Amino acid sequence: MAQDQANEPARVFNMYKKMLLIRAFEEAAGENFHAGNIRGSVHQYIGEEAIAVGICANLRKDDLLTSYHRGHGHSIAKGADPRAMMLELFGRVGGTSGGKGGSMHIADFSVGMLGANGVIADGCTISVGAAQAIKLLKQDKIVVNFIGDGGINRGPFMESLNWAKIYNLPVLFVCENNQIAATTTTKSVTAGDGIAARAESYGIPAITIDGNDLLLVDSTSARIIDEIRSGSGPQLIQAMTYRLRGHFAHDKALYRIPGEAEAALEYEPVRRTETWLAEHGIPEKDLARARDEADRQISQYVDDAHAAPWPEIAEAFTDVQDVGAPEMGVS
């Protein structure tokens, strides 16, 4: 994207629609989790949508992306089919992984989305390896590794920073700093000057931005992704944000300081983008239509998921491995 396109209303409106789709998806996922239609766990991305959307708006379809347990937003932003994702959350035929992975293992390799991940920071090492493959195959793709602030105290994150730098790999680390890891504030368990300082200590350029400012995420990542594709080596964006919901959908976030979440609503990205669009000539009726369209679309996917068949039992025994594959009924 050219820098001067960053604040064009038509582009921002398109990104806004993507954010609405993620928001509607996450609301529906939460509701159906509470209703018992979705089992396991659901980690909602509500309040953080501008990061995934702003970054992915600057990626090509063949660029690669890795995510973590809060991965629905990254997948939709990268171009995964939200209908197939909803079916996956319901564990049904037609899900992105045929119902074998669920929420924490959402993936769509057809759009370069190499998987959410149930293990914190494991996406980091996978990302640097994928970038090494890109170099070996002489491709001009890049890899974006999304990680939460809770991941920065795991060894694989620090190993991967070092690794990406020494081999000058085309990796963009995006730390979505919502400031709390499950129920523990990251600040209270992290030494030193924080995430950006850690990257800089490895010689990796790092920038801290307001991750709820869609236009800023868009313009910043446009520049950085361009640099990485041109051979700058790895870079890191620390995107400050706020998780408007609990760690997972049943978490009532009772550890929050009273009033904190309410105050954060003022800075949440969907509303902010909406205000900006209204100020830049997009009529309210268009914004309302976009909201309705996202809700309608996701609600249709929920209906589809309810109606979709359960997988055949035999599916449990497929795609384990080629050599020494299991046989159904044989332990």
Partner 1 sequence: MTEMTYAQAARLGLKEELERDPKVWALGEDLGFEGGMAGQYKDLQAEFGIDRIVDTPISESTIMGAAIGAALAGTRPIAELRFSDFAMCAVDELVNQAAKARYMFGGQARVPMVARMPIGIRGGIAAQHSQSPEAWYAHVPGLVVVTPATPSDNRGLLKAAIRCDDPVVYMEHKGLWGLVGEVNENDVEPLPLGKARIVQEGSDLTIVTWAAMVSVVEKAAIKLAEEGISTEVIDLRTLWPWDRDAVFSSVIKTGRMMVVHEAVQVGGFGGEISSEVTEHLFDNLKGPVKRMGGARIPIPFSIPLEASYMISEEQVVAKARSFFS
Binding site for partner 1 (CB under 8 A): 64, 66, 95-101, 105, 107-110, 114-115, 117-119, 122, 124-137, 143, 155-156, 159-160, 162-163, 166-167, 318-324, 326
Question: How many Cα atoms sit within 13 Å of 170 on the Cβ side?
Answer: 25
Q: Which tokens hold the place of 121?
A: 């920071």
Return the number of the residue (39 or 187) whose C-beta is nearest partner 1.
Answer: 39
Angle at 299 between CA 247 and CA 296, to 5 degrees: 120
Task: Report the nearest approach of partner 1 to the CB of residue 4 (Å).
Answer: 33
Task: Report the nearest approach of partner 1 to the CB of residue 130 (Å).
Answer: 4
Return the number of the residue (163 or 242) whose C-beta is nearest partner 1.
Answer: 163
Give the residue from 217, 135, 147, 145 showing the smallest Cα distance to 178.
Answer: 147
Task: Report the nearest approach of partner 1 to the CB of residue 135 (Å).
Answer: 7
What count of residues does the chain have? Answer: 331
Distance (Å, whole) CA 246 – CA 268: 15
Task: Report the nearest approach of partner 1 to the CB of residue 138 (Å).
Answer: 10
Task: Report the nearest approach of partner 1 to the CB of residue 144 (Å).
Answer: 13
Distance (Å, whole) CA 76 – CA 70: 12
Burial class of residue 230 (count of CB atoms within 10 Å of its CB; 0-12, 13-18, 19+): exposed
Angle formed by the axes of helices 284-307 and 269-279, nearest 10°: 140
For residue 58, CA distances in Å to 6, 61, 175, 221 come to 10, 10, 17, 7
Return the number of the residue (51 or 142) whose C-beta is nearest partner 1.
Answer: 142
Return the number of the residue (46 or 64) whose C-beta is nearest partner 1.
Answer: 64
Distance (Å, whole) CA 8 – CA 277: 10
Contact (CB, 8 A) for 248 and 41: yes
Return the number of the residue (19 or 76) whose C-beta is nearest partner 1.
Answer: 76
Return the number of the residue (54 or 101) whose C-beta is nearest partner 1.
Answer: 101
Distance (Å, whole) CA 34 – CA 159: 38
Task: Report the nearest approach of partner 1 to the CB of residue 67 (Å).
Answer: 12
Distance (Å, whole) CA 50 – CA 218: 9
* DSSP helix/strand/coil, 12: helix
Return the number of the residue (67 or 273) whose C-beta is nearest partner 1.
Answer: 67
Task: Report the nearest approach of partner 1 to the CB of residue 62 (Å).
Answer: 11
